[in-house]
Structure 1
Amino acid sequence: MTTQTLGSTEKSTAATSTKNAVGKKAARASRPRESWGSGSPKKKTHGGRASRLSWTVSLRGLVILIDWLLAFITATAVLPALGAWLHQQSGASQGSLTPEGTIAMWGMPLFFLVILLAAGEITVMRGMWRWSTRRLQRINDRADDAGAEPVAETARKKSSNRKKTK
Protein backbone atom coordinates (compact mmCIF):
# COMPACT_ATOMS: atom_id res chain seq x y z
CA MET A 1 0.00 0.00 0.00
CA THR A 2 1.27 3.40 -0.86
CA THR A 3 1.28 6.32 1.48
CA GLN A 4 -1.31 8.09 -0.63
CA THR A 5 -3.70 5.13 -0.42
CA LEU A 6 -3.08 4.76 3.30
CA GLY A 7 -3.90 8.43 3.88
CA SER A 8 -7.15 8.25 1.94
CA THR A 9 -8.18 5.10 3.87
CA GLU A 10 -7.65 6.88 7.19
CA LYS A 11 -9.72 9.85 6.00
CA SER A 12 -12.60 7.67 4.84
CA THR A 13 -12.51 5.66 8.10
CA ALA A 14 -12.60 8.86 10.14
CA ALA A 15 -15.52 10.21 8.11
CA THR A 16 -17.42 6.91 8.45
CA SER A 17 -16.85 6.74 12.22
CA THR A 18 -18.09 10.33 12.58
CA LYS A 19 -21.24 9.52 10.57
CA ASN A 20 -21.80 6.40 12.67
CA ALA A 21 -21.40 8.35 15.91
CA VAL A 22 -23.88 11.00 14.78
CA GLY A 23 -26.28 8.31 13.57
CA LYS A 24 -26.06 6.41 16.87
CA LYS A 25 -26.73 9.58 18.88
CA ALA A 26 -29.76 10.39 16.76
CA ALA A 27 -31.05 6.83 17.08
CA ARG A 28 -30.58 6.94 20.87
CA ALA A 29 -32.37 10.29 21.10
CA SER A 30 -35.33 9.09 19.02
CA ARG A 31 -36.07 5.91 20.99
CA PRO A 32 -37.47 5.95 24.54
CA ARG A 33 -35.02 5.67 27.38
CA GLU A 34 -34.76 2.28 28.97
CA SER A 35 -34.27 1.60 32.63
CA TRP A 36 -31.42 -0.55 33.84
CA GLY A 37 -32.04 -4.24 33.63
CA SER A 38 -35.27 -4.14 31.63
CA GLY A 39 -36.17 -3.72 28.02
CA SER A 40 -39.29 -1.68 28.70
CA PRO A 41 -39.40 2.10 28.48
CA LYS A 42 -38.77 3.98 31.68
CA LYS A 43 -42.00 4.75 33.50
CA LYS A 44 -42.49 7.95 35.43
CA THR A 45 -43.51 7.06 38.97
CA HIS A 46 -43.80 10.59 40.27
CA GLY A 47 -47.02 10.55 42.21
CA GLY A 48 -47.73 6.97 41.20
CA ARG A 49 -48.46 4.02 43.39
CA ALA A 50 -44.80 2.87 43.50
CA SER A 51 -43.60 6.34 44.49
CA ARG A 52 -46.18 6.62 47.25
CA LEU A 53 -45.31 3.18 48.53
CA SER A 54 -41.59 3.99 48.60
CA TRP A 55 -42.25 7.24 50.49
CA THR A 56 -44.50 5.42 52.95
CA VAL A 57 -41.98 2.65 53.58
CA SER A 58 -39.12 5.14 53.90
CA LEU A 59 -40.82 7.55 56.30
CA ARG A 60 -42.48 4.88 58.45
CA GLY A 61 -39.25 2.88 58.53
CA LEU A 62 -37.30 5.95 59.60
CA VAL A 63 -39.77 6.70 62.38
CA ILE A 64 -39.74 3.10 63.61
CA LEU A 65 -35.92 3.03 63.56
CA ILE A 66 -35.69 6.28 65.54
CA ASP A 67 -38.32 5.02 68.01
CA TRP A 68 -36.38 1.80 68.51
CA LEU A 69 -33.09 3.67 69.00
CA LEU A 70 -34.72 6.02 71.50
CA ALA A 71 -36.18 3.15 73.53
CA PHE A 72 -32.99 1.08 73.32
CA ILE A 73 -30.68 3.89 74.41
CA THR A 74 -33.03 4.82 77.23
CA ALA A 75 -33.24 1.23 78.46
CA THR A 76 -29.52 0.45 78.20
CA ALA A 77 -27.86 3.76 79.09
CA VAL A 78 -30.16 6.33 80.66
CA LEU A 79 -32.11 4.16 83.12
CA PRO A 80 -29.10 2.28 84.56
CA ALA A 81 -27.19 5.54 85.01
CA LEU A 82 -30.23 7.14 86.62
CA GLY A 83 -30.70 4.11 88.91
CA ALA A 84 -27.05 4.16 89.97
CA TRP A 85 -27.21 7.87 90.70
CA LEU A 86 -30.39 7.47 92.77
CA HIS A 87 -28.91 4.46 94.58
CA GLN A 88 -25.88 6.52 95.57
CA GLN A 89 -27.85 9.67 96.50
CA SER A 90 -30.39 7.81 98.63
CA GLY A 91 -27.78 6.20 100.84
CA ALA A 92 -28.83 2.69 99.84
CA SER A 93 -25.29 2.04 98.57
CA GLN A 94 -23.92 2.38 102.12
CA GLY A 95 -26.13 -0.45 103.42
CA SER A 96 -27.64 1.56 106.27
CA LEU A 97 -31.24 1.46 104.96
CA THR A 98 -33.79 -1.22 105.70
CA PRO A 99 -35.60 -2.88 102.78
CA GLU A 100 -38.58 -0.55 103.34
CA GLY A 101 -36.25 2.45 103.37
CA THR A 102 -34.56 1.27 100.18
CA ILE A 103 -37.94 1.02 98.46
CA ALA A 104 -38.99 4.42 99.78
CA MET A 105 -35.72 6.26 99.11
CA TRP A 106 -34.51 4.53 95.95
CA GLY A 107 -37.12 2.26 94.36
CA MET A 108 -40.09 4.61 94.21
CA PRO A 109 -38.17 7.65 92.90
CA LEU A 110 -36.64 5.43 90.21
CA PHE A 111 -40.08 4.03 89.32
CA PHE A 112 -41.48 7.56 89.12
CA LEU A 113 -38.66 8.74 86.83
CA VAL A 114 -39.03 5.65 84.62
CA ILE A 115 -42.75 6.39 84.21
CA LEU A 116 -41.98 10.03 83.36
CA LEU A 117 -39.35 8.98 80.80
CA ALA A 118 -41.75 6.44 79.26
CA ALA A 119 -44.49 9.05 78.98
CA GLY A 120 -42.07 11.49 77.36
CA GLU A 121 -40.82 8.87 74.93
CA ILE A 122 -44.33 7.85 73.96
CA THR A 123 -45.18 11.50 73.34
CA VAL A 124 -42.10 11.93 71.12
CA MET A 125 -42.87 8.69 69.26
CA ARG A 126 -46.47 9.70 68.61
CA GLY A 127 -45.30 13.13 67.45
CA MET A 128 -42.89 11.59 64.95
CA TRP A 129 -45.59 9.19 63.69
CA ARG A 130 -48.01 12.10 63.22
CA TRP A 131 -45.29 14.08 61.44
CA SER A 132 -44.77 11.21 59.00
CA THR A 133 -48.55 10.95 58.48
CA ARG A 134 -48.77 14.66 57.64
CA ARG A 135 -45.80 14.39 55.32
CA LEU A 136 -47.32 11.41 53.50
CA GLN A 137 -50.63 13.25 53.21
CA ARG A 138 -48.84 16.17 51.54
CA ILE A 139 -47.17 13.79 49.11
CA ASN A 140 -50.51 12.16 48.30
CA ASP A 141 -52.19 15.54 47.85
CA ARG A 142 -49.47 16.69 45.45
CA ALA A 143 -49.78 13.47 43.48
CA ASP A 144 -53.56 13.85 43.30
CA ASP A 145 -53.22 17.48 42.18
CA ALA A 146 -50.77 16.44 39.46
CA GLY A 147 -53.57 14.74 37.56
CA ALA A 148 -53.97 11.33 39.10
CA GLU A 149 -57.74 11.10 39.40
CA PRO A 150 -58.87 8.73 42.13
CA VAL A 151 -60.65 5.71 40.68
CA ALA A 152 -62.76 4.90 43.74
CA GLU A 153 -64.47 8.30 43.82
CA THR A 154 -65.39 8.10 40.14
CA ALA A 155 -66.89 4.65 40.60
CA ARG A 156 -68.90 5.81 43.60
CA LYS A 157 -70.32 8.78 41.70
CA LYS A 158 -71.47 6.60 38.83
CA SER A 159 -73.07 4.01 41.08
CA SER A 160 -74.85 6.60 43.24
CA ASN A 161 -76.44 8.32 40.21
CA ARG A 162 -78.11 5.17 38.94
CA LYS A 163 -81.84 5.02 39.15
CA LYS A 164 -83.47 2.03 40.67
CA THR A 165 -85.78 0.08 38.40
CA LYS A 166 -88.88 -1.62 39.70
Structure 2
Amino acid sequence: MNLLFLCTGNSCRSILAEATFNALAPEGWQAMSAGSQPTGQVHPRSLALLDREGISTEGLYSKSWSNLPVKPDIVITVCGNAAGETCPTYLRPALRAHWGIDDPVKATGTEEEINSAFTQTYLTLREGIETFLTLPLDDLRKNPFAFKTKLDYIGILKFKHPHPK
Protein backbone atom coordinates (compact mmCIF):
# COMPACT_ATOMS: atom_id res chain seq x y z
CA MET A 1 0.00 0.00 0.00
CA ASN A 2 1.25 3.46 -0.88
CA LEU A 3 0.58 6.45 1.34
CA LEU A 4 1.09 10.09 0.35
CA PHE A 5 1.58 12.84 2.93
CA LEU A 6 0.70 16.05 1.15
CA CYS A 7 1.17 19.69 2.08
CA THR A 8 2.00 22.86 0.25
CA GLY A 9 5.79 23.23 0.39
CA ASN A 10 6.97 19.66 1.09
CA SER A 11 9.85 20.90 3.23
CA CYS A 12 8.82 19.98 6.75
CA ARG A 13 5.54 18.38 7.90
CA SER A 14 5.01 16.00 5.01
CA ILE A 15 8.73 15.13 4.99
CA LEU A 16 8.67 14.40 8.74
CA ALA A 17 5.57 12.23 8.24
CA GLU A 18 7.06 10.35 5.28
CA ALA A 19 10.30 9.50 7.08
CA THR A 20 8.58 8.61 10.36
CA PHE A 21 5.94 6.44 8.70
CA ASN A 22 8.56 4.54 6.73
CA ALA A 23 10.61 3.98 9.88
CA LEU A 24 7.60 2.51 11.73
CA ALA A 25 5.47 0.88 9.02
CA PRO A 26 5.09 -2.85 8.53
CA GLU A 27 6.33 -4.55 5.40
CA GLY A 28 4.17 -3.81 2.39
CA TRP A 29 3.48 -0.18 3.35
CA GLN A 30 5.43 2.71 1.86
CA ALA A 31 4.98 6.44 2.44
CA MET A 32 6.00 9.27 0.18
CA SER A 33 5.49 12.99 0.47
CA ALA A 34 4.88 15.84 -1.92
CA GLY A 35 3.74 19.42 -2.14
CA SER A 36 1.37 21.31 -4.36
CA GLN A 37 3.97 24.11 -4.49
CA PRO A 38 7.22 22.47 -3.34
CA THR A 39 9.96 24.71 -1.98
CA GLY A 40 12.64 22.61 -3.66
CA GLN A 41 14.51 21.87 -0.44
CA VAL A 42 13.92 20.04 2.82
CA HIS A 43 14.17 22.38 5.78
CA PRO A 44 17.49 21.80 7.60
CA ARG A 45 15.73 21.67 11.00
CA SER A 46 13.58 18.79 9.71
CA LEU A 47 16.65 16.83 8.67
CA ALA A 48 18.45 17.57 11.96
CA LEU A 49 15.40 16.48 13.97
CA LEU A 50 15.06 13.21 12.06
CA ASP A 51 18.78 12.55 12.57
CA ARG A 52 18.41 13.14 16.32
CA GLU A 53 15.49 10.70 16.38
CA GLY A 54 17.52 8.05 14.54
CA ILE A 55 15.26 8.13 11.47
CA SER A 56 16.89 7.88 8.07
CA THR A 57 16.89 10.98 5.89
CA GLU A 58 18.29 9.16 2.87
CA GLY A 59 16.42 9.98 -0.30
CA LEU A 60 14.31 12.76 1.20
CA TYR A 61 13.80 15.75 -1.06
CA SER A 62 11.12 18.36 -1.73
CA LYS A 63 9.00 17.23 -4.68
CA SER A 64 5.81 18.02 -6.53
CA TRP A 65 2.68 15.90 -6.38
CA SER A 66 2.73 15.84 -10.18
CA ASN A 67 5.90 13.68 -10.22
CA LEU A 68 5.01 10.80 -7.90
CA PRO A 69 6.71 7.46 -8.57
CA VAL A 70 3.51 5.48 -7.84
CA LYS A 71 -0.19 6.19 -7.41
CA PRO A 72 -1.10 6.55 -3.72
CA ASP A 73 -3.81 4.42 -2.16
CA ILE A 74 -4.19 6.88 0.73
CA VAL A 75 -3.56 10.64 0.78
CA ILE A 76 -3.24 12.46 4.11
CA THR A 77 -3.01 16.24 3.94
CA VAL A 78 -1.03 17.78 6.80
CA CYS A 79 -1.46 21.50 6.15
CA GLY A 80 -2.54 23.76 8.98
CA ASN A 81 -5.70 25.34 7.64
CA ALA A 82 -6.47 26.71 11.12
CA ALA A 83 -3.66 29.19 10.43
CA GLY A 84 -5.26 30.24 7.15
CA GLU A 85 -3.07 28.01 4.99
CA THR A 86 -4.60 26.76 1.76
CA CYS A 87 -4.70 22.98 1.77
CA PRO A 88 -4.20 21.25 -1.59
CA THR A 89 -6.84 18.81 -2.78
CA TYR A 90 -5.52 15.65 -4.34
CA LEU A 91 -7.88 14.86 -7.20
CA ARG A 92 -6.93 11.34 -8.24
CA PRO A 93 -8.84 8.38 -6.84
CA ALA A 94 -7.46 7.67 -3.39
CA LEU A 95 -8.76 7.42 0.13
CA ARG A 96 -8.29 10.89 1.64
CA ALA A 97 -7.96 12.21 5.18
CA HIS A 98 -6.76 15.41 6.78
CA TRP A 99 -4.42 15.79 9.76
CA GLY A 100 -4.10 19.56 10.10
CA ILE A 101 -0.96 20.80 11.79
CA ASP A 102 0.56 24.25 11.64
CA ASP A 103 3.84 24.71 9.81
CA PRO A 104 6.79 25.01 12.25
CA VAL A 105 8.76 26.75 9.49
CA LYS A 106 6.68 29.81 10.37
CA ALA A 107 7.59 29.65 14.07
CA THR A 108 9.26 32.70 15.54
CA GLY A 109 11.16 33.35 18.73
CA THR A 110 14.41 32.07 20.15
CA GLU A 111 16.29 29.14 18.66
CA GLU A 112 14.96 27.01 21.50
CA GLU A 113 11.35 28.07 20.79
CA ILE A 114 11.69 27.39 17.06
CA ASN A 115 13.32 24.00 17.68
CA SER A 116 10.52 23.25 20.12
CA ALA A 117 7.92 23.98 17.41
CA PHE A 118 9.64 21.49 15.08
CA THR A 119 9.86 18.88 17.84
CA GLN A 120 6.18 19.31 18.74
CA THR A 121 5.20 18.93 15.08
CA TYR A 122 7.25 15.73 14.83
CA LEU A 123 5.83 14.29 18.06
CA THR A 124 2.25 15.06 17.00
CA LEU A 125 2.77 13.49 13.58
CA ARG A 126 4.46 10.47 15.14
CA GLU A 127 1.56 9.98 17.54
CA GLY A 128 -0.91 10.13 14.63
CA ILE A 129 1.17 7.65 12.63
CA GLU A 130 1.48 5.28 15.59
CA THR A 131 -2.30 5.43 16.02
CA PHE A 132 -2.75 4.81 12.27
CA LEU A 133 -0.55 1.72 12.53
CA THR A 134 -2.75 0.27 15.31
CA LEU A 135 -5.73 0.23 12.93
CA PRO A 136 -6.67 -3.13 11.41
CA LEU A 137 -4.91 -2.38 8.12
CA ASP A 138 -6.73 -5.24 6.35
CA ASP A 139 -9.93 -3.20 6.81
CA LEU A 140 -8.66 -0.80 4.17
CA ARG A 141 -9.44 -3.37 1.48
CA LYS A 142 -12.53 -4.81 3.15
CA ASN A 143 -14.24 -1.57 4.15
CA PRO A 144 -12.51 1.59 2.87
CA PHE A 145 -15.28 3.86 4.17
CA ALA A 146 -14.84 2.61 7.75
CA PHE A 147 -11.07 2.94 7.42
CA LYS A 148 -11.43 6.53 6.17
CA THR A 149 -13.68 7.31 9.12
CA LYS A 150 -10.95 6.08 11.47
CA LEU A 151 -8.30 8.18 9.66
CA ASP A 152 -10.53 11.25 9.91
CA TYR A 153 -11.05 10.53 13.60
CA ILE A 154 -7.28 10.48 14.13
CA GLY A 155 -7.14 13.87 12.40
CA ILE A 156 -9.76 15.34 14.70
CA LEU A 157 -8.57 13.65 17.90
CA LYS A 158 -4.81 14.12 17.51
CA PHE A 159 -4.56 17.28 15.44
CA LYS A 160 -7.70 19.16 16.48
CA HIS A 161 -7.98 20.89 13.08
CA PRO A 162 -11.00 19.54 11.21
CA HIS A 163 -10.76 19.87 7.47
CA PRO A 164 -12.92 22.61 5.95
CA LYS A 165 -15.86 21.44 3.87
State the TM-score, normalized to the length of structure 2.
0.25
Higher helix share: 1
Structure with max Cα Rg: 1
Higher strand share: 2
State the TM-score, normalized to the length of structure 1.
0.25
